[in-house]
Amino acid sequence: MSTSLKLILGFFSTIFLASISLGIFFYVTGSETENVADGTNPLENLSGPADSELAQLERGEKEFEVSRARQGNEISEKAFADDLHKMTHQKVMAEEKWGHKRITEESIEEMLRIAEESNYEYKDFYIDTLKRWQAGDFNNAVKVHNIIWNANHGTIGKAERLLSPREEQNYIIEHFE
């Protein structure tokens, strides 16, 4: 075999192995950090104070710890966050899920109304999340789930990815119909 042919084969073999290695690297790190079915990063499209808060929560720079205290007739922030967490179960793949609250236009509107009228510490986070959901954008559901899951000191049931439409339909049938 000629030297130039060996060089060309060596070059393409190196490129091939590098591509495989990078693909594995991005698959592994992407599945742990992005957790989004369509490959987009929800943090890239964030803007405003609520988005900064979401980014801080996701990076662990800010601890998500909510109060159980009630103010007047307002439900506690802990109960509100738990309901939001239960709603994410309809959209995310997790080994275990405790609690279910169906996502409907009405449930989103009700949660959004409560958040907007509240004095919750993470009010902006809730409003941003629910407005996205109201617009049909659930790409943040994995991140929202895991932020609240971490605050509850979860050890089993971390969300891994969004459910496919078929998986979500099966979840709805199993838990709500």
pTM, full prediction = 0.63
Contact 84/129 with Cβ under 8 angstroms? yes
3-class secondary structure, 160? strand
pLDDT(9) > 50? yes
DSSP 122: T
Half-sphere exposure of 65 (CA within 13 A, CB side): 5
The phi-psi region of residue 48 (left if phi > 0; otherwise alpha if psi is between -120 and 50; otherwise beta) is left
Please state which of the ranges 39-48, 135-144, 156-165, 166-175 shows the lowest mean pLDDT. Answer: 39-48
* Mean pLDDT, residues 50-59: 61
Q: Please state at what angle helix 49-59 crosses helix 123-134, rounded to 10 degrees.
A: 100
The token duo for 16 is 């091939």
For residue 128, is pLDDT > 70?
A: yes
CB 88, CB 145: distance < 8 Å? yes
117: pLDDT confidence band, cut at 50, 70 and 90?
very high
Q: What is the pLDDT of residue 10?
A: 61
**Residue 100 pLDDT > 80:** yes
Residue 49: pLDDT band by 50, 70, 90 thresholds? very low
| Parallel, antiparallel or unpaired: strands 92-94 and 159-162 | antiparallel
Task: Please provide the size of the chain in residues.
Answer: 177
**DSSP codes joined into one string, 51-103:** HHHHHHHHHTSS---------TTPPPHHHHHHHHHHHHTTTEEES--------
Least confident of 52-61, 75-84, 106-115, 118-127: 52-61
Find the mean pLDDT for residues 57-85.
72
Q: Specify the higher pLDDT residue, 34 or 11.
A: 11
